[in-house]
Amino acid sequence: MNRREFVKQVGLGLAAGWAVGRLAWPFTARAADPEVRLALLADAHLKDGNDRRPEALALARAVAEIGKLSPPPELVLFAGDLAHRGRPDALDLGREILADLPAPVWAVCGEGDHGPRGNSAWVRRWGSPWFSRPWRGFHLLGLDTCLAPAAGGPVFEIGPVQRRWLARELSTLSPDTPLVILSHAPLARLFQPWQQWTGDAPELAQLLEQFSQVLYLHGHAHSSGAGNFGTNPMDYSPTTYRSLPTENPEPKTQNHLSLPATAWPRPLAVQGTPATPRPGVGPGGCGWVLATLRPTASHFQPYLWQA
């Protein structure tokens, strides 16, 4: 039995005994097709090419669970940190495990996917670190969030080059086009000590303010949750956590969905855990999310297990 078959069989064994946690949030979308099914993954944090490490087995479990869905998803989105420290053998193992998914995989880069030479190893395996592609009535955008030094500690940013590219892409779209934006870091300013902070989020929001429906999907937080906020911090509550408004109200805000990690729940608290929950910290557990986008109301169901 080769390595890929071994990892696949272990993943299927783990999936057979899954414990599923489900939450649903409505998100209206003007899709041309009646239903679009997306599987959403993030934060595998593979340390190296060892397929028997817990992180590799956890990713294989998620892949096996997605493979058992009927009907299968039409597309899989991966929100970065496939690797933990950018090792090429970890990226190779990740591609090998993800190859067993029943649908194409579109992925963005996380800071863990950067090695000593930046994102060159990622680009050789996945191509450009950002993308713009139509998909059955939606338009999917993948953005590359990179860490940059800042007062109070490093923060993520999109950067001027990528923002200019994004402005050109958006100029070709109708304001009624429903957008799905995939990134590793949350494209908002949430909690800087945990690096859940994108410094140029206000500039990004200005580019998107003409669009009536914008759904952001991000990793990095290692927890699943939703919130409706602009560029200002906001605490999650039991009600807002499950609420994803159907359209962007005035003043303009965007709908954000944080994806669970397959590796471990919750982020590393760089400066200690705050006394109260902060944005980006949802329920514990590892797993993935099934997104079903419909013209009238769409749903997001996390499939979670305890790490």
> What radius of gyration do the chain's Cα atoms show?
18
**Local confidence band at 195 (pLDDT 50, 70, 90 cut-offs):** confident
- Residue 54 Cα to chain centre, angstroms: 21
Sign of CA dihedral 39, 42, 48, 54: negative
- Residue 230 Cα to chain centre, angstroms: 18
pLDDT value at residue 3: 54
φ/ψ of residue 56, rounded to 5: -70, -40
The model's pLDDT over 71-110, given as tens digits with 9 standing for 90+, comes to 999 999 999 999 999 999 999 999 999 999 999 999 999 9
Q: Over 50: is that where the pLDDT of 59 sits?
A: yes
Answer with the residue of higher pLDDT: 136 or 10.
136
The model's pLDDT over 11-45, given as tens digits with 9 standing for 90+, comes to 455 444 333 333 333 344 444 456 899 999 999 99
Answer with the residue of higher pLDDT: 270 or 214.
214
| Mean pLDDT value of segment 135-141 | 93
What is the percent of the chain where pLDDT is above 70?
72
List the beta strands (DSSP E) in 87-175: 105-107, 131-135, 138-142, 146-148, 155-157
Q: Over 80: is that where the pLDDT of 269 sits?
A: no
Widest pairwise Cα distance in the chain: 57
pLDDT value at residue 8: 54
Listed in sequence order, the residues at least 6 apart from 8 whose beta carbon sits closer than 8 Å to its beta carbon are: 60, 63, 64, 100
pLDDT value at residue 221: 87
**Local confidence band at 226 (pLDDT 50, 70, 90 cut-offs):** low
Answer with the residue of higher pLDDT: 132 or 18.
132
What's the Cα-to-Cα distance from 269 to each of 44, 132, 196, 243, 273, rounded to whole Å? 18, 33, 11, 26, 6
Q: Over 70: is that where the pLDDT of 297 sits?
A: no
| Mean pLDDT value of segment 228-239 | 31
Q: What is the average pLDDT value for the chain, to the nearest integer?
A: 78
| Mean pLDDT value of segment 225-249 | 35
**Local confidence band at 132 (pLDDT 50, 70, 90 cut-offs):** very high
